[in-house]
């Protein structure tokens, strides 16, 4: 990030926000808040690449389905990669007037209804990862344009015995071993 000394990425139930403090400005009130971004989708997690300025925001819910938003211009504009369908897709499929109102088009999504939210994002070892609710681990090797499931987690022999926490069965943290590419 070249133009800002400090940037805080905030995901909320009302969208994504970016809080910035201008570089070299010593005044305590030199903060700016920008947003909401991501069409006011619920956003659970945001990450950024300090070298390129690329930002990612993951979220969704029962209404929208799950998706990952990407900004290549430090938050000025955002593009959505939808991963699953939500209730709005069901409604729009049976109500053409509603579909027209929201600008809906019937599209095939890579995971259809397998999960409802992206809960966590992580970037490491040249790939972008996403944790979902219910717990799945996804990977993208093209900066979030396309996604595939990491089956070694989903198909793990112990998966049937996993117990959900207060938020349900979510994959909510992604941590990389910087010394060993094959370990997360």
Q: Please write the tens of the pLDDT for every residue from 78-93.
A: 999 999 999 999 999 9
pLDDT recorded at residue 93: 96
**pLDDT over 90, % of the chain:** 71
pLDDT at 183: 86
Q: What is the DSSP letter of 164?
A: -
The whole-number average pLDDT for the span 125-132 is 93
Q: pTM, whole model, 2 decimals? A: 0.89
In the block, tokens 């926490």 appear at: 165
Characterize 58-91 residue by residue with b for buried, 16 or more Cβ atoms within 10 angstroms of its Cβ, and e for exposed: bbbbeebbbbbbbbeebbeebeebbbbbbebbee
Cα angle for residues 68, 33, 11 (degrees, 5° grid): 30
Query: From CA 141, how far away is CA 159, in angstroms rounded?
Result: 25
pLDDT at residue 29 in the model: 64
pLDDT band at residue 124, thresholds of 50, 70 and 90? confident
Q: Report which DSSP code applies to 169.
A: S
* DSSP secondary structure, 77-91, as one string: S-EEEE-S--HHHHH
């Amino acid at each position: 990030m070249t133009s800002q000394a400090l940037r805080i990425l905030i995901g909320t139930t009302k969208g994504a926000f970016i809080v910035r403090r201008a570089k070299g400005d010593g005044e305590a009130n030199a903060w700016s808040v920008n947003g909401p971004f991501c069409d006011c989708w619920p956003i659970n997690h945001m990450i950024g690449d300090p070298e390129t300025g690329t930002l990612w925001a993951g979220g969704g819910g029962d209404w929208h389905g799950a998706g990952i938003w990407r900004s290549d211009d430090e938050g000025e504009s955002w593009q959505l990669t939808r991963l699953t369908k939500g209730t709005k897709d069901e409604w729009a499929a049976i109500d053409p007037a509603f579909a027209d109102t929201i600008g809906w088009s019937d599209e095939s999504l890579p995971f259809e209804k397998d999960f409802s939210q992206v809960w966590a994002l992580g970037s490491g070892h040249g790939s972008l990862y996403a944790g979902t609710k219910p717990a799945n681990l996804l990977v993208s090797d093209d900066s979030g344009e396309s996604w595939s499931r990491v089956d070694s987690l989903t198909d793990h022999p112990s998966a049937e015995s996993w117990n959900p926490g207060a938020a349900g069965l979510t994959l909510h943290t992604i941590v990389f071993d910087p010394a060993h590419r094959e370990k997360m």
